[in-house]
């Protein structure tokens, strides 16, 4: 079959070349954005007198019907079509005849596809923001349920200082709150209209790009038509933002995997988000968390793939740019799926308060508080640090913890230590005393939850 772009060539390509060139298998998801953009374009053409109002009305009505037919299932997208743009235009022309051929006046597939991708990613920013807010809500809900539960805080995966579980898990909510901010910032650069750039040089028609952009909800238009069709920075930036989201999800997933292991036993994942073993009946595997962790590399690969595709491309549009879509769509789908699974996985997770408390009692995590106690008594911090370290070494040698070491033993290392030392090193007090802004006290946790609920 001859192509709609036939002219300079016969438009008859080898079937293998057709398959190689075709993008309908993945860009068909852009049908809504493509039709949305075409409706705005027809409105602009009639406003400027480039086509008649009657022709525009006929085109717009037909496009709206095509959209309805696709979404209702009455119209199936032809897998043999070259791309979604050609498919919509072919159906339009079949339905309304030569009037449909007027729609492509003053535009090119080059600016058309750039427009569709911007509209798609703008929509995706909005839907992903909703998913992130759902995840933050699940985390803050779990923090609220376990606001006073004490657990070990870690550095280098070693026991460091006691913290509240709520404080620890809210750290991830803060990451996702920043992701929302990044998406909003990314959306600003997405929301620039390329339509009217045409193939690369603009057009001789008296178009109104600002009108068309406003109809589509864009904030502005791209100022350079060559940049308008060749720019894929917004795709790269989106993939970078999605990679950061996946990095945060992967870190959270790793934490949950560790916490749910028998060695930790801090949390138990719901049966709905775990699997069993085909051979070991006792197993409860955190597969959903592991998949979120594993799929992170996939999204990183999508980012690197597009960066590599764009590297060294001359201006303006090149067919290489068709390769932007599969990676972008894959990353979008992956992030949406992972965010969608993580929110209920966390909401249904059980926290074992006793296991956390038992773990927190080990590892001398109140040693810093002992040093702080000595500082309050008048010692320089470095001297207090050394004395506390010697006391910890003595506890290890005598099989004690700081809480049950006799006072007389403390006083052998520092005579100024008194009975109130035991209050100072009590784990609950250690946490409660950390009232500095952003610290692990209950008061701080409540402020964090209030902040995050405000961002929802």
Q: Are 116 and 37 in contact (CB under 8 A)?
A: yes
User: What is the percentage of the chain residues whose pLDDT exceeds 90?
Assistant: 92
Query: Which of 6-10, 47-51, 58-62, 368-372 comes out lowest in average pLDDT?
Result: 6-10
Determine the straight-line distance between the first and last CA of the chain, rounded to whole angstroms.
Answer: 53
Say if strands 150-155 and 158-164 run parallel, antiparallel, or are unpaired: antiparallel
pLDDT at residue 5, as a whole number: 45
In this prediction, residues 83-104 reach a mean pLDDT of 97
| Chain centroid to CA 102 | 40
Catalytic residue flag (residue 22): no
Residue 355 contacts residue 265 (beta carbons within 8 Å): yes
What phi, psi does 150 have (nearest 5°)? Answer: -95, 140
Are the C-beta atoms of residues 42 and 104 closer than 8 Å to each other?
Answer: no
The gap from C-alpha 346 to its chain's centroid, in whole angstroms, comes to 17
Indicate the range of 18-22, 35-39, 332-336, 416-420 predicted with least confidence: 18-22
Closest C-alpha among 108, 71, 74 to residue 89: 108
Tokens of 33: 């954005």
pLDDT digits (tens, 9 = 90+) for 289-320: 999 999 999 999 999 999 999 999 999 999 99
| Residue whose C-alpha is closest to residue 218's, from 101, 121, 333, 319 | 121
What confidence tier does 10 reach under pLDDT thresholds 50, 70, 90? low
Average pLDDT on 95-114 reads 98
Query: Which of helix, strand or coil describes residue 267?
Result: strand
Q: What tokens does 6 get?
A: 């036939």
- Cα(154)–Cα(139) distance, rounded to whole angstroms? 20
Helix (H, G, I), strand (E, B) or coil at 51: coil
Distance separating alpha carbons of residues 160 and 367, to the nearest angstrom: 9
Is residue 4 a contact partner of residue 91, using CB atoms and an 8 Å limit?
no
The sign of the dihedral angle between the CA atoms of 87, 91, 94, 98 is negative
Structure-block tokens of residue 71: 């979404």
Q: What is the CA radius of gyration of the chain?
A: 30
Angle at which helices 109-145 and 84-96 cross, to 10°: 120
- Are the CB atoms for 68 and 91 separated by under 8 Å? no
Residue of 251, 272, 60 whose CA lies nearest to 174:
251
Q: In this structure, what token pair is assigned to residue 302?
A: 């999508």
Q: Given a cut of 70, is residue 1 above it in pLDDT?
A: no
Domains of the chain listed by start with CATH number: 21-105 (1.10.275.10), 110-147+163-207+223-358 (1.20.200.10), 363-447 (1.10.40.30)
Residue 254: left (phi > 0), alpha (psi -120 to 50), or beta?
A: alpha
Catalytic site includes residue 156: yes
Q: What values do phi and psi take at 194, rounded to 5?
A: -95, -10
What confidence score (pLDDT) does residue 18 get?
Answer: 74
What number of H helices and E strands is found in the chain?
Answer: 20, 6
Q: How far is CA 10 from CA 3, 13, 202, 318, 324, in A?
A: 8, 8, 26, 21, 28
pLDDT at 46 over 50: yes
Q: Give yes or no for residue 266 having a pLDDT over 60.
A: yes
Confidence at residue 280, expressed as pLDDT on a 0 to 100 scale = 82
Q: Which of 277, 388, 400, 444 is catalytic?
A: 277
Residue 373 buriedness (CB in 10 A; 0-12 / 13-18 / 19+): buried
What's the token pair of residue 384?
A: 């207090």
3-state secondary structure 216-255: CCCCEECCCHHHHHHCCHHHHHHHHHHHHHHHHHHHHHHH
pTM: 0.93
Per-residue pLDDT at 454: 86
| 285 phi, psi to nearest 5 deg | -95, 135
Other beta carbons within 10 Å of 439: 16
| pLDDT tens sequence across 403-443 | 999 999 999 999 999 999 999 999 999 999 999 999 999 99
What are the helix (H) ranges across 311-413? 324-347, 353-360, 367-376, 381-398, 407-413
Structure tokens that stand for 413 in this block: 């290392």
pLDDT tens-digit readout, 58-78: 999 999 999 999 999 999 999
Catalytic residue among 10, 72, 156, 278: 156
């Amino acid at each position: 079959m001859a192509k709609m772009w036939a002219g300079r060539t016969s438009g008859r390509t080898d079937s293998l070349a057709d398959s190689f060139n075709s993008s309908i298998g993945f860009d068909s998801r852009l049908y809504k954005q493509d039709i949305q953009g075409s409706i705005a374009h027809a409105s602009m053409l009639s406003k400027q007198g480039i086509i008649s109002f009657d022709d525009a009305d006929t085109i717009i009505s037909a496009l709206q019907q095509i959209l309805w037919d696709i979404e209702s299932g009455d119209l199936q997208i032809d897998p043999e079509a070259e791309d979604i743009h050609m498919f919509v235009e072919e159906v339009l022309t079949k339905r309304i005849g030569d009037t449909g051929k007027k729609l492509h006046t003053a535009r090119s597939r080059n600016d058309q596809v750039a427009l569709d991708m911007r509209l798609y990613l703008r929509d995706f920013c909005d839907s992903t923001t909703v998913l992130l807010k759902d995840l933050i809500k699940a985390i803050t809900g779990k923090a609220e349920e376990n606001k006073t539960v004490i657990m070990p805080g870690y550095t280098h995966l070693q026991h460091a200082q006691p913290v509240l579980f709520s404080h620890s898990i809210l750290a991830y909510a803060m990451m996702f709150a920043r992701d929302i901010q990044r998406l909003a910032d990314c959306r600003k650069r997405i929301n620039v209209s390329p339509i009217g750039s045409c193939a690369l040089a603009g057009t001789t028609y008296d178009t109104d790009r600002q009108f068309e952009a406003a109809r589509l909800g864009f904030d502005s238009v791209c100022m350079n038509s060559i940049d308008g069709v060749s720019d894929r920075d917004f795709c790269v930036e989106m993939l970078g933002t999605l990679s950061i989201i996946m990095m945060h999800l992967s870190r959270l997933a790793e934490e949950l995997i560790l916490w749910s292991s028998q060695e930790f036993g801090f949390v138990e994942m719901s049966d709905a988000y775990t699997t069993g073993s085909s051979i070991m009946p006792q197993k409860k595997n955190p597969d959903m968390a592991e998949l979120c962790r594993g799929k992170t590399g996939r999204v990183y690969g999508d980012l690197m793939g597009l960066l590599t595709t764009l590297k060294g491309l001359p201006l303006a549009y090149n067919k290489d740019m068709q390769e932007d879509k599969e990676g972008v769509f894959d990353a979008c789908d992956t992030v949406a799926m992972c965010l969608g699974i993580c929110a209920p996985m966390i909401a249904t997770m059980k926290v074992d308060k006793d296991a956390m408390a038992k773990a927190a009692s080990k590892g001398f995590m109140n040693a810093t508080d002992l040093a702080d106690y000595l500082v309050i008594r008048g010692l320089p911090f470095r001297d207090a640090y050394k004395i506390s370290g010697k006391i910890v070494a003595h506890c290890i040698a005598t099989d004690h913890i700081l809480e049950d070491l006799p006072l007389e033993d403390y006083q052998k290392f520092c005579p100024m230590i008194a009975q109130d030392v035991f209050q100072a090193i009590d784990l609950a007090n250690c946490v409660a005393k950390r009232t500095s802004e952003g610290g692990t006290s209950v008061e701080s946790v409540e402020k964090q939850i209030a902040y995050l609920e405000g961002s929802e």
